A = this chain, B = another copy of it.
Amino acid sequence: MNTPADVPNAQQNEFLQNYNKITQGTNRLMLFAADQKIEHLNNDFYGDFIHPEANHSKHIFNIAAQGRIGALATHLGLIARYGSEFKDVNYIVKLNGKTNLIETNKKDPMGSLLWTIEDIIKFKKDSGFNICGVGYSLYIGSEFEAQMLQEAAQVIYKAHQNGLVAILWVYPRGKNINKTNIDLTSGATGLANALGADFVKIKAPEENDYEISPFESLKIATHAAGNTKVICAGGEPEDTATFLKKLYEQINIGGTCGNATGRNIFQRSLHDAIAFTNAISAIVYDNKSANEAIKIYNSMAK
């Protein structure tokens, strides 16, 4: 792994340390993505089929501390309010956000920048927490794309200037976007590369215009990403085995470098969530097969 050239010499050690912490020396990333308190309000935290523990914010910190993850991605406010008890967790600070109260067909999405890189750097120094990087959600095709493209480019540039890893969430979304396919997804990953991101989180498309399997087509997008590493969003909750098998194929056929999973993890009890992070990390970091990962999960979960 070369450090990008927008990381100044004086920050290269810092950057490499951050990068290695979250990738565990593998160039892959198991990201526990839990920014839904703003993005989805309480929808993902309370309701049928959701474990009652999920409703309290501390649940995700308990999972992050006791499970095996590369980093927990969440908003600064939560980290500021819980981090003192969870100093060993690696954090990716999600810098922007929006609620789900306005539907896309009413108004195109715009996630506003809540904290600056300068804020994060100061916070890291003051708190001594393991802030390893930052995340930004970019909705290409939204009528607010111009503002978000600018913010995304600046977030990445300034993160690198300060030795932080930069992760972009890229979603084609807006009144003018009818469907996503592999071409659009490849555009999203290539754009993340052109903006200088270290990782790009995408939602793997279900369809493509080519006569190849979804995982084969995913390879087009991971290739178009150049040396920016692709991680796939977990998406809607699904059963453990299906999830783990899909993850294995994404990585080993599709060429992705890990995962970004939230709901599939934190809607479980603490115990099961821990087991699930271990299973995921076995695939991501230890190159285990899906079946081995399932075994790991089953041996731990109740």
In Å, the complex CA distance between A191 and B42 comes to: 8
Residue A146 interfacial (CB < 8 Å):
yes
Q: Mark A200-232, 1 if CB is under 8 A from B, else 0.
A: 000000000000000000001001111110000
Q: Mark A1-12, 1 if CB is under 8 A from B, else 0.
A: 010111011000
Residue A302 interfacial (CB < 8 Å):
no
Given A6-B76, A38-B191, A99-B141, the answer on whether A114 and B153 have CB atoms closer than 8 Å is: yes
Please tell me if the beta carbons of B6 and A110 are within 8 angstroms of each other in the complex: no
A226 to chain B, nearest CB (A): 3
Where the two chains meet, the residues of A that have a C-beta atom closer than 8 Å to any C-beta of B are: 2, 4-6, 8-9, 35, 37-38, 40-43, 45-47, 55-58, 74-85, 97-99, 101-103, 106-107, 110-115, 119, 122-123, 126-127, 129, 140-141, 143-147, 149-150, 153-154, 156-157, 160-161, 172, 174, 176-177, 183-184, 186-188, 190-191, 193-197, 220, 223-228
User: CB < 8 Å: which of B119, B126, B227 contacts A5?
Assistant: B126
In Å, the complex CA distance between A172 and B99 comes to: 10
Please tell me if the beta carbons of B141 and A194 are within 8 angstroms of each other in the complex: no
Please tell me if the beta carbons of B195 and A114 are within 8 angstroms of each other in the complex: yes
Copies of this subunit? 5
User: CB < 8 Å: which of B81, B101, B140, B196 contacts A80?
Assistant: B196
A58 (CB) vs chain B CBs: closest residue: B226
Please tell me if the beta carbons of B224 and A46 are within 8 angstroms of each other in the complex: yes
Which residues of chain B are within 8 angstroms of A172 by Cβ–Cβ distance? 101
In Å, the complex CA distance between A156 and B123 comes to: 13
Q: Which of A101, A156, A174, A184 has the most CB of B within 10 A?
A: A101
Which residues of chain B are within 8 angstroms of A157 by Cβ–Cβ distance? 76, 115, 119
